[in-house]
Amino acid sequence: MVSEYRSPWMDDELEMFRDAAKRFIESEIVPNDARWREQHHVDRDIWNKAGEVGLLCTDIPAEYGGVGGDARHEAVVAEEMGCHGISSFGHVVHSILAHYVLNYGTEERKCNWLPRMASGELVGAIAMTEPGAGSDLQAVRARAVREGDQYVLNGTKTFISNGLHAGLVGVVVKTDPTKGAKGISIIMVETKDLPGYRVGRVLDKIGQNGWDTAEMFFDDCRVPADCLLGPAEGQGFVQLMRDLPYERALLALGGVAAMEYALAITTEYARSRKLFGQALLEMQNTRFKLAEVKTQVHVARVFIDDCIRQLKDGTLDTVTASMAKLWITEAQCRVMDECLQLFGGYGYTTEYPISLLYVDARVQRIYGGASEVMKEIVARSL
Ligand SMILES: Cc1cc2nc3c(=O)[nH]c(=O)nc-3n(C[C@H](O)[C@H](O)[C@H](O)COP(=O)(O)OP(=O)(O)OC[C@H]3O[C@@H](n4cnc5c(N)ncnc54)[C@H](O)[C@@H]3O)c2cc1C
């Protein structure tokens, strides 16, 4: 590591948890990552393996089968993935869905779904985006109609992370198209053997290619009425807004970990690369560039540590989480660009991890709310 800094929210118990996460990532994920990027998805059994060693649903209470930790445990897993350059494993989205179930599901559903999510039997996904509705969520056209004790779902979703393997999907639908945001609901869909449910293409992206991002089709899919995240219809928009700080903080944290990794490997490379009779690191431009990078990474780290503390205490608000997502993901893209430059032509080959960090970073400014949407949210608080 380039810095001796330790996050104020870390403690000895979390250090042990970090060691376990690190061992798992180094033995089960890193050796497979290149193959996963080629095939555009992880192997399905990695979910069960991660569940077995307690890396899924780490902040879900033990009474529902979770690890019984808090936001810091999720942060440790996200950091360890980030500092190993891993973008293939969609544990963050999985955890976000688990939180929707925990916060808004019926007691019976919580007892059924959460232990299966914690074990990796069910992989979670969140299906908001549609071909005609991304940033503008109110434009979703997927529809759920109540018929007796069931909902009937129709619609098309795209860009869904964990889409290929998803066993449980939180689908954002209109339950009343006349009511705008108040007509939006989230309905949980168990996909196994569900008539009318189909996964479409797994998308070919410029980065994060080990992570299955897929299209989903719902054609007269019938689910029990208690799969509505309630208690009543029309709560979906508010539920999404309430849970977004969690998602945005974890996305930003992944960005910080990736920047720390980039700084470490770039410094090491610059130290060993010789040109014009000296090490690349001895050139003033390199030292100044890396000094700038290190400063940005440290600022990002201190900001995100404060967010993690607030997340743990339940006080992280939408504006602060949006500022973190905005600033850190923009910094991430700048940092990856500066670091790649120092690798020269080698940085442009996939043999050097900096190239993957560079392409993986770009989407961070788009998904989870584009930077422009973050600015709107922050600006509204002025
Ligand atoms: C790899 C990947 C994974 C994803 N995973 C998921 C997932 O798991 N579930 C899911 O539901 N979705 C997912 N998405 C979709 C993602 O959330 C959307 O792509 C994102 O919300 C932007 O929507 P859009 O692509 O339709 O772009 P649009 O909404 O068409 O926006 C295009 C651009 O317009 C600009 N813009 C948008 N809003 C404003 C504004 N208010 N003011 C000014 N400018 C604005 C921004 O520059 C934006 O990038 C994923 C996307 C990718 C690429």
Q: How confident is the model at residue 80 (pLDDT cuts 50, 70, 90)?
A: very high
Q: What pLDDT shows up at residue 4?
A: 75
Cα separation of 365 and 301, whole Å? 18
Give the H or E element holding residue 126. Answer: strand 124-127
CA torsion through residues 59, 366, 242, 147, sign: negative
**Pocket lining: 199 vs ligand 1, CB cutoff 6 Å:** no
Ligand 1 atom having least distance to the Cα of 93: 8
Q: What is the dihedral of CA 55, 57, 60, 65, to 10 degrees?
A: -80
What burial class does residue 133 get, using C-beta atoms within 10 Å of its C-beta: 0-12 exposed, 13-18 middle, 19+ buried?
middle
**Pocket lining: 316 vs ligand 1, CB cutoff 6 Å:** no
Ligand 1 atom having least distance to the Cα of 126: 9
What's the gap in Å between 27 CA and the centre of ligand 1?
34
Give the model confidence (pLDDT) of 272-326 as tens digits: 999 999 999 999 999 999 999 999 999 999 999 999 999 999 999 999 999 999 9
SS3 45: helix
Q: Give the pLDDT mean for 177-202.
A: 97
Structure tokens at 103: 């916060």
As a whole-number percent, the residues of the chain with pLDDT over 90 amount to 98
Using the predicted structure, report yes or no on whether residue 5 has a pLDDT greater than 90.
no
CA torsion through residues 339, 341, 342, 348, sign: positive
Residue ID of nearest Cα to ligand 1 atom 12: 129
Q: What are the distances in angstroms from CA 272 to CA 266, 269, 278, 279, 351?
A: 10, 5, 10, 6, 17
Give the model confidence (pLDDT) of 238-261 as tens digits: 999 999 999 999 999 999 999 999
Mean pLDDT of the chain: 97
Ligand 1 atom having least distance to the Cα of 127: 11
pTM: 0.96
Catalytic residues: 247
Q: Give the pLDDT mean for 77-86.
A: 95
Using the predicted structure, report yes or no on whether residue 182 has a pLDDT greater than 80.
yes
Q: Which residues pair with 152 in a beta bridge?
A: 145, 222
Whether residue 74 contacts residue 58, with contact meaning beta carbons closer than 8 Å, is answered with: yes
Using the predicted structure, report yes or no on whether residue 1 has a pLDDT greater than 60.
no
Please write down the HEC assignment for all residues of 77-103.
HHHHHHHCCCCCCCHHHHHHHHHHHHH
What's the gap in Å between 322 CA and the centre of ligand 1?
15
Cα separation of 124 and 98, whole Å? 7
Q: What pLDDT shows up at residue 3?
A: 61
Q: Which residues pair with 190 in a beta bridge?
A: 168
SS3 202: strand
Q: What pLDDT shows up at residue 219?
A: 98
Give the model confidence (pLDDT) of 112-167 as tens digits: 999 999 999 999 999 999 999 999 999 999 999 999 999 999 999 999 999 999 99
Q: Give the pLDDT mean for 340-357.
A: 97
